[in-house]
Each structure stands twice: as C-alpha cells, then as structure tokens.
C-alpha cells in the first residue's frame, strides 16, 4: 500500500495513518511501541478497500495493544472489520456509543436498537458486521458517553458526546423520527409473527449486545427477510438521523503536542451544543460527517492537519465540503482522502 508521507511540525510521539476508504472513515494512531488506537474502520463499498484492514492488521502486534473506536452505528464506520482475521489478538477493547435505556435519548436509542437487531435478523446490507465485532473477539465492549475516557496506545481521549442527559436527544423532532422508525419496524415484525424484544429502563447495554449475538444465528425464511429488508430500506434515512445524533465526539486529554479532535458523524445541531474547553490548538481535527457539517463550537480552532474523508466520485449526492472548515478553522494542510488517498503523518 502506497502512502503520501507528511512531516508534522509538532513534536509528535505517534504516527497517524489516514486511509482512503471511499465514503467512510478509518484512522490509525500508532505510537513508538506499536501500540495503537483505531478510529473507525469502514466503507460504504468495503469490497473495494479490503487492503485497508489487512494493512492495519499487518502493522499491529498480536498482543491486544490496540483499541478500536466505532464512532456510531453506520456500517461505513465499521464494515471493514469483517476482513480483520484475528481481531481478538489485536484489539484490547472496542468502544461504541452508549445507548440510554431511559431519559431524553431513550426513544432514539430504541430506534437504533430496533433497526440493528432487525438488520441482523434479515441479513440487511452490512449491518451484520456489528455481531461480528461482538462475536469474533473476546475484547471488552465499552459503551461511551460524555465524561468517559478512552485510554489506549499513548492516547487519552475524553468523550464530549453523546451527552445522554441533553435535551436535544429528546426534542420533538428526534422523538417523532425515532417513533416512526420503531413503529414501522415493530409493526412489520408483528405482521410476520416475530416476537419484538422489549428493553426496560432497568435493562443494561450488555443485554442488548447479547440479544444481537443471539439473532445472528437465527434462520429466517428468505421471503420474510426480503420483507424486513424492504422496510429497513424505507426507514434508513430516519435511522441515519438518530444514529448520527449519538455519534462519539472525543478530544485528546494531553498537555503536550499532538492533540486530536475527532468529530465522527456529528451534525450541526450537535456540534452547536458541544463545549470544547482548554487548548484550541490541535495537531489533527477529523472533520465531522466526512467534511459536510461544521457547527459553532469548532469555529476559530487551530490545527496543523484537517482530515476530510469523502468521495464525490462514488456518490454524486454528497454535499460539498462545508466552507466553515475553510473559513474559520486555521490549518496548515487539508488531508482529503478523495484527492490524496492514503496518508501517513509522522514526527
């Protein structure tokens, strides 16, 4: 695999591998001892990019010294995991967004859970990768919410979002979208005489994971699968809204050089609500939603590298790069995988 190599002006103590995965995300932070942190590993067309997970696995030692952050529940952020042969030997922990069982975000979380388990049951697209993550590795699954930390490979990331107590998660708009997803899926499952699982406020995230794992081995008739797949296709746009709402946003918690701000697929409504305290100087900012969302909270930041991952070549309906990134964020260089392909930034 060929990389364009860039030298950082900061005194970095890690290398950053930024992979061209078409429309998707994958960034690997690797310290001097080859301990790492993988931020997403997915593509909308994973078969075209299977060399990426193969490369990731080849550079990581098989001693569970790498953490894996799945920023949210869209397959273009985890679909390439399928081609990592020995994840249980590579990954120490796998971090995913917390799904609340009560409070403002419950209805959005329920919509995500309903979509996910129905997709697993019906073999819908690449969403079955989730149980592969949970089933192919004995690594600990760690749900993340505001205030939590991800400490892996010389990195210490503080989670800024999802804030499961924030009122935006329970807004009328989000509740209506979430209820539509839930009602459509559960009505379809009832018509097919399939028992719909119910999760109560006292239930735990691990119970949801166990249920998803249980469904991956269930044998459903092809006719029923096609009906469920059609319904999921009809509500996938609404599912996208609630999944993005709970996307992980994290900032590195360190005083020395090499600070990172990772914005996942957070959209403007969320980015306008996030408070980023402390230093405003970064080595890397991973642009939100592949470069199409901006938000007030990240205006006037300063970064050496701005990472944008998207591909107009494959998907003509993708919005242009948000001009706020260019106008209000001071950066030495924009690393756009669409134009530069695979990039390596080193000290």
From CA 86, how far away is CA 76, in angstroms rounded? Answer: 21
CATH number assigned to the domain comprising residue 242: 3.60.15
Q: Which of 277, 74, 37, 288 is nearest to 157 (CA)?
A: 37
Q: How many helices (H) and strands (E) does the chain have?
A: 10, 15
Q: Which helix (H) or strand (E) holds 173?
A: helix 172-191
Beta bridge partners of 149: 158
Asked whether the beta carbons of 41 and 52 are under 8 A apart, the reply is yes
Q: How far apart are the first and last CA of the chain?
A: 20
Question: Is the CA virtual torsion 279, 281, 284, 288 positive or negative?
Answer: positive
Asked whether the beta carbons of 178 and 108 are under 8 A apart, the reply is yes
Give the model's pLDDT for residue 199.
Answer: 77
Give the model's pLDDT for residue 314.
Answer: 47
Question: Is the CA virtual torsion 160, 44, 81, 20 positive or negative?
Answer: negative
Give the model's pLDDT for residue 278.
Answer: 64
Residues of the chain with pLDDT under 50: 314-316
Q: Which of 309, 282, 303, 267 is nearest to 27 (CA)?
A: 309
From CA 168, how far away is CA 220, in angstroms rounded? Answer: 37
Give the model's pLDDT for residue 169.
Answer: 93
Q: Check residue 76 and report its DSSP letter.
A: G
Q: Which helix (H) or strand (E) holds 109?
A: helix 106-121
DSSP of 256-310: SS--EEE-TT--HHHHTT----S--EEEEEE-GGGGT---GGGTT-EEEEEEE--
Express each pLDDT in 117-167 by its tens digit: 999 999 998 898 998 898 888 889 999 999 999 999 888 999 999 999 999
List Cα–Cα distances, 315 to 25, 212, 270, 311, in angstroms: 15, 30, 25, 7
Q: Report the phi/psi class of residue 222: left, alpha or beta, with left for phi > 0 and alpha for psi in -120 to 50.
A: alpha
From CA 159, how far away is CA 144, in angstroms rounded? Answer: 7
Give the model's pLDDT for residue 72.
Answer: 95
Asked whether the beta carbons of 295 and 288 are under 8 A apart, the reply is yes
From CA 151, how far away is CA 146, in angstroms rounded? Answer: 15
Domain residues for the domain of 116 are 4-346
Q: Which helix (H) or strand (E) holds 150?
A: strand 149-152
Express each pLDDT in 289-308 by its tens digit: 999 898 888 888 889 999 99
Number of domains in the chain: 1
From CA 280, how far away is CA 258, in angstroms rounded? Answer: 12
pTM here is 0.94
Asked whether the beta carbons of 294 and 320 are under 8 A apart, the reply is no
From CA 197, how far away is CA 195, in angstroms rounded? Answer: 6
From CA 252, how far away is CA 84, in angstroms rounded? Answer: 26
Give the model's pLDDT for residue 175.
Answer: 95
Beta strands in 206-340 (DSSP E): 249-252, 260-262, 281-286, 302-308, 330-336
């Amino acid at each position: 695999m060929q990389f364009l190599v860039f030298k950082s002006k900061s005194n970095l103590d890690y290398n950053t591998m930024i992979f061209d995965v078409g429309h998707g995300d994958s960034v690997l932070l690797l310290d001097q001892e080859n301990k790492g942190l993988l931020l997403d590993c997915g593509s909308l067309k994973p078969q075209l990019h299977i060399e990426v997970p193969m490369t990731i696995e080849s550079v990581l030692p098989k001693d569970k010294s790498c953490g894996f952050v799945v920023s949210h529940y869209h397959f273009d952020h985890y679909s390439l995991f399928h081609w990592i042969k020995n994840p249980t030997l590579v990954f120490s922990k796998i971090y995913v967004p917390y799904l609340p069982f009560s409070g403002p975000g419950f209805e959005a979380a329920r919509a995500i859970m309903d979509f996910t388990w129905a997709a697993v049951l019906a073999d819908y697209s690449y969403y079955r990768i989730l149980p592969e993550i949970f089933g192919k590795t004995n690594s600990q699954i760690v749900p993340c919410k505001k205030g939590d930390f991800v400490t892996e490979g010389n990195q210490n990331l503080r989670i800024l979002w999802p804030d499961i107590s924030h009122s935006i998660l329970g807004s009328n708009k989000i509740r209506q979208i979430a209820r539509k997803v839930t009602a459509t899926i559960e009505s379809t499952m009832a018509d097919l005489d399939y028992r719909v699982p119910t999760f109560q406020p006292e239930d735990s995230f691990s119970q949801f994971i166990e249920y998803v794992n249980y469904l991956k081995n269930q044998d459903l008739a092809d006719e029923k699968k096609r009906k469920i797949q059609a319904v999921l296709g009809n509500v996938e746009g609404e599912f996208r809204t609630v999944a993005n709402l709970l996307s992980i946003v994290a900032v590195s918690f360190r005083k020395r050089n090499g600070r990172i701000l990772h914005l996942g697929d957070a959209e403007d409504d969320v980015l306008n609500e996030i408070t980023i305290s402390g230093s405003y100087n970064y080595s890397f900012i991973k642009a939100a939603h592949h470069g199409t969302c901006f938000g007030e909270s990240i205006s006037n930041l300063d970064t050496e590298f701005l990472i944008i991952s998207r591909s107009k070549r494959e998907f003509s309906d993708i919005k242009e790069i948000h001009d706020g990134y260019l106008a209000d964020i001071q950066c030495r260089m924009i690393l756009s995988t669409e134009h530069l392909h695979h990039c390596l930034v080193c000290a």
